[in-house]
């Protein structure tokens, strides 16, 4: 397994085509917009090397018998799934933000399970190909991004009925040695700093949409692949590099839009090529695993947010107030409800034909549905307790100014024993972690709220519940 520094060095050897704010970046991993996200991902490597965290951060691969990062490991038991949620909470606590690697991990598990079932039904050899790919990923400790969401054009039309057929990624040519793909994937977390991109379909597809049913692995610097790094709330502050920019880990995951302009993918990297009847299964499984995650990573982030809010209350001299304590208690309740759901979804997992274990889809989707609400409620409480300073605090430059800086320090002072800079750091962290970028990520990441409700209703088995009511109440058919 690599150290964080080795991971960063390995990235610098790559030459991806990355654009940000209208310019192609010659050294993307050192750019202030991207470097914080690289540092966050690097933490996943460093913690995996720390003996104190070995049980949670690493696992024994059933493919090779070697100890590997849990971020490259198949979920081979309920215990693996429970430890994954524990790992996400730990990393959320250590970084206070999104550490990006879980999308690839869930993609690995989804492709592993579905390729097994495609091969069994159709006599293809995708699973063996994917196994070879995964063994290398485990051996080299490769960070993989998961690229699922298409740009989708006119959402009332199927992919193959769009005015521009490229609005969903699809196969445009099949050659004896591989396929050529064209299209775009958007909102892709950690893509710029992932050496491998796992491309997956975005929805289930009938026979007419077979060309859109494609799963494959594409190197970050493949010919024809362009990445455009997205903007975030307050992103220009990263270029100032002071207290105003928040922590050294940035906020959310550093998302990009990936444009695949006739990218050739050799056969050994193709894991689905036209099997539309399995595309929906892949999406559902990926979504179930990833939606459960949010009860882990967001709980870890909220632990830091809660701590920051409590400490700011202390600096403000309000920590002993019963109303403040009650609001902090409400934050705890919301966070632990999400965590409990994620652990419950993992505890009720079932084994798939390919051997890995799938979280309970109903509970997993319920977790994510709760996250879409509770993260906003937690943010509201942090805003309530933090006060108006969260949106009006003067800039770093004003605090550094020879004329007004000392005056600002004097008038923004809090309880004795804390510096004004301590207070500013807390304010900026709370501001960043309750910002539009952060909240929208919690709402739409791993699928928008309505996507969870569709699965919840499907999984809830209402007819069975109606039958229960009939039986208990003695209502005949
Ligand atoms: Fe992982 Fe959470 Fe970020 Fe998704 S949002 S990649 S689950 S840390």
Q: What is the pLDDT of residues 220-274, one digit of tens each?
A: 999 999 999 999 888 888 888 899 998 889 888 899 999 999 999 999 999 999 9
Residue to probe by mutation, ligand 1, list 84, 102, 192, 295, most atoms within 8 Å of CB: 102
Residues with CB under 6 A from ligand 1: 98-100, 102-103, 189, 253, 293-294, 297, 445
Query: Hey, whose CA ends up nearest to atom 7 of ligand 1?
Result: 293
Provide the 3-class DSSP secondary structure of residue 1.
coil
Cα-Cα end-to-end distance for the chain: 61
**In 278-321, alpha helices (H):** 279-316
Angstrom distance (rounded) from CA 348 to CA 339? 14
What pLDDT score does 253 carry? 84
pLDDT, position 275: 97
pLDDT at res. 73: 98
**Residue 237 to residue 244: CA distance in whole angstroms:** 6
CA of 253 to the centre of ligand 1 (A): 7
Q: Bridge-partner residues for 265, per DSSP? A: 179
Q: Say how far apart CA 469 and CA 249 lie, in whole Å.
A: 51
The per-residue pLDDT for 391 is: 95
Q: Which residues have CB under 8 Å from 458's CB, separation 6+? A: none
d(CA 82, CA 344): 9
Are 107 and 263 in contact, with CB atoms under 8 Å apart? no
In the reported structure, the alpha carbon of residue 287 is separated from the centroid of ligand 1 by a whole-number distance in angstroms of 12
Spatial distance between the Cα atoms of 370 and 468, rounded to a whole number of angstroms? 26
CA quadruple 350, 353, 357, 359: dihedral positive or negative? negative
pLDDT lower than 70: segments of the chain: none
Number of the ligand 1 atom closest to the C-alpha atom of 293: 7
Residue 161: how many other CB atoms lie within 10 Å: 12
Centre of ligand 1 to C-alpha 44, Å, is 12
- Tokens 């400790």 belong to 141
Q: Which of 97, 146, 297 to mutate to test the pocket of ligand 1 (most atoms within 8 A of CB)?
A: 297
Report the nearest-CA residue for atom 2 of ligand 1.
297
Element (H, E) at 411: helix 405-411
E strands, 21-72, in order: 23-24, 58-60, 67-69
Rounded to the nearest angstrom, the distance between the alpha carbon of 252 and the centre of ligand 1 is 8
**Distance from the alpha carbon of residue 477 to the mean position of ligand 1, in angstroms:** 47
Which atom of ligand 1 approaches the CA of 102 most closely? 1
Predicted pLDDT of residue 234: 84
Q: Which residues does the annotation mark as catalytic?
A: 98, 102, 189, 255, 290, 294, 297, 441
196-199 sheet: strands from edge to edge? 144-147, 196-199, 214-219, 270-273
The pLDDT of residue 232 is 86
Chain centroid, CA 140 distance in Å: 22
**Stated pTM of the model:** 0.95
């Amino acid at each position: 397994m690599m150290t964080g520094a080795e991971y960063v060095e390995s990235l610098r050897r790559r030459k991806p085509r990355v654009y940000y704010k209208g310019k192609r970046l010659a050294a993307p991993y050192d750019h202030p917009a991207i470097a914080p996200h690289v540092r966050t991902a690097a933490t996943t490597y460093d913690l995996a090397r720390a003996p104190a965290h070995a049980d949670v951060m690493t696992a024994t691969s059933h493919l090779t018998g070697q100890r590997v990062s849990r971020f490259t490991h198949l979920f081979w038991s309920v215990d693996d799934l429970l430890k994954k949620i524990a790992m996400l909470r730990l990393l959320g606590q250590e970084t206070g933000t999104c550490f990006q690697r879980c999308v690839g991990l869930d993609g690995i598990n989804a492709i592993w399970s579905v390729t097994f079932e495609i091969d069994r039904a159709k006599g293809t050899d995708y699973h063996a190909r994917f196994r070879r790919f995964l063994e290398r990923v485990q051996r080299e400790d490769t960070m993989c991004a998961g690229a699922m969401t298409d740009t989708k054009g006119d959402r009332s039309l199927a992919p193959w009925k769009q005015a521009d057929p490229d609005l969903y990624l699809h196969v445009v040519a099949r050659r004896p040695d591989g396929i050529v793909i064209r299209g775009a994937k958007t909102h892709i977390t950690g893509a710029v700093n992932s050496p491998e991109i796992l491309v997956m379909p975005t929805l289930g597809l009938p026979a007419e949409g077979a060309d859109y049913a494609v799963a494959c692995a594409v190197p970050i610097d493949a010919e024809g692949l362009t990445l455009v790094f997205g903007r975030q709330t307050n992103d220009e502050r990263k270029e100032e590099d002071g207290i105003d920019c928040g922590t050294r880990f940035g906020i959310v995951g550093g998302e990009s839009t990936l444009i695949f302009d006739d990218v050739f993918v050799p056969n050994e990297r193709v894991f689905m090529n036209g099997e539309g009847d399995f595309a929906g299964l892949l999406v559902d499984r990926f979504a179930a695993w990833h939606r459960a995650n949010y009860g882990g990573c967001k709980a870890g982030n909220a632990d830091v947010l809660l701590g920051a809010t409590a400490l700011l209350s202390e600096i403000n001299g309000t920590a002993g107030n019963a109303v403040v304590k009650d609001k902090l208690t409400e934050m705890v309740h919301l966070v632990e409800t999400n965590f409990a759901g994620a652990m419950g979804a993992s505890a009720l997992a079932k084994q798939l034909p390919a051997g890995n274990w799938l979280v309970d889809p109903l509970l997993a989707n319920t977790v994510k549905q709760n996250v879409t609400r509770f993260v906003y409620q937690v943010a509201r409480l942090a805003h309530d307790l933090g006060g108006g300073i969260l949106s009006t605090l003067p800039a770093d430059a004003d605090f550094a100014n020879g004329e007004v800086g000392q005056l600002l320090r004097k008038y923004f002072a809090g309880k004795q024993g804390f510096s004004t800079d301590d207070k500013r750091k807390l304010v900026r962290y709370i501001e960043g972690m309750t910002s539009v970028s952060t909240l929208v990520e919690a709402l739409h990441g791993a699928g928008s709220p309505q996507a969870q409700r569709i699965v919840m209703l499907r999984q809830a088995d209402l007819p069975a519940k109606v039958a229960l009511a009939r039986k208990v109440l003695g209502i005949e058919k």
